[in-house]
Amino acid sequence: MKVIVRWLLLAAALLLLTQWNIGISVSTFGSAMWAAFVIGLLNAFVRPLLIVLTLPVTVLTLGLFLFVVNALMFQFAGYLLDDFQVQGFWQALLGSVLYSLWGMVIDVALERLMGPRLPMQPPRA
């Protein structure tokens, strides 16, 4: 249940980003849900690979290159989806930072409202 609520709230955060006129557009809430899903998949599977491949640059820039990796994931989601558009790299950078901040706020709020995640435990006999 917590995952679905988080997904819906992240989609709402994407719609909020479109209202600030920073070069990001989403046509409908359904499109925002797909965009949040694709961004989540990219962050789960592609982002770790990019982090490993760009580790020397990340170390050299004291971790600031991770902002570039996040912006690339955000912009790549815009390329994959027709109804989610990101105008350019700087807009993707700003959008990814704001989206990440909203994600942290959502995570903290859900943690307080729904409690911490419990590890999977086998059923008792």
Per-residue pLDDT of the chain (125 residues; tens, 9 = 90+): 889 999 999 999 999 999 998 999 999 999 999 999 999 999 999 999 999 999 999 999 999 999 999 999 999 999 999 999 999 999 999 999 999 999 999 999 999 998 776 566 666 65
Q: Give residue 74's pLDDT.
A: 95
What tokens does 124 get?
A: 């008792």
- Predicted local distance difference test score (pLDDT) of residue 115: 78
DSSP state of 120: P
DSSP β-bridge partners for residue 24: 86
Q: Which amino acid is at 19?
A: Q
pTM across the whole model:
0.86
What pLDDT, on a 0 to 100 scale, did the predictor assign at position 23? 93
Rounded to 10°, the helix 29-53/65-80 angle is 140
